[in-house]
A = this chain, B = another copy of it.
Amino acid sequence: MRFDDLLQLFVPKDRVFFPLFVKDTQNLVTISKTLVQLVNCVDPTQRRALIKEVERLEHVGDNITHEIFNELSTNFITPFDREDIHALASSIDDIADFIHGSSKRIDLYKIVEVSPAIIKLAELIETSAQELHIAVSEFGGTRDLNKIKEACVKINSIENHADDVFNMAIANLFEQEKDAIAIIKIKEILAALETATDKCEDAANVLQTILVKNA
């Protein structure tokens, strides 16, 4: 037990950080839903509008991140280790960045047809974002440890699944696509999507670290 754990007994329940994290992961759910719409959209004008929407939502997320960092610098005593609050905010920010990154690449590389693996990965990101939102909301609410752990386990298994989807997609790409430049482009997009699920796992790991420290 650490000195700050002792202190924490006197610290009021967190009313500052988790409400912001809940807002942040709610925004992630919205971005990832937009991503799923975007990769399923065949109309170029509508798709372009959805790409712009992902960009806008990424900025919304940036503002929440800054709000968290500001609270961190003005609160003398925090309900959890400062570095964990920092790490959680950073990894949520990373998830939004990689969703935005893959959406931007679809635009910049002038991708016309989106492959089934890209759609599948977008769906996995959406599910993972939803689980992260559940875990964070539970943490900021009644804090049912089993529910939080369950969501984290799901996020981990989604990341494994995304890994398999990514690997199979790359193998198929090498089988079927003979244009090396097309391979490079699609590989880049798949990699950005797959990394978004890695970052969800990072966020889940920070949550588990906070749980472990406050066990």
Instruction: Flag whether A205 is at the interface (Cβ < 8 A).
Output: yes
Interfacial chain B residues near A105, Cβ < 8 Å = 167
Min CB distance A144 to B, Å, is 15
Q: Are B109 and A171 in contact (CB under 8 A)?
A: yes
Taking chain A's interface residues, is the majority helix, strand, or loop, or is none over half, making it mixed?
helix
What 10 pairs between A and B have smallest CB-CB spacing?
A180-B180, A3-B3, A108-B171, A2-B4, A180-B181, A82-B212, A2-B3, A72-B212, A73-B212, A109-B174
Q: Are B213 and A82 in contact (CB under 8 A)?
A: yes
Size of the A side of the interface (Cβ < 8 Å), in residues, is 39
Which residue of the partner chain B has the closest CB to A215?
B73
Instruction: Flag whether A184 is at the interface (Cβ < 8 A).
Output: yes
Min CB distance A151 to B, Å, is 16
Instruction: Flag whether A9 is at the interface (Cβ < 8 A).
Output: no
Which residue of the partner chain B has the closest CB to A105?
B167
Interfacial chain B residues near A109, Cβ < 8 Å = 170-171, 174
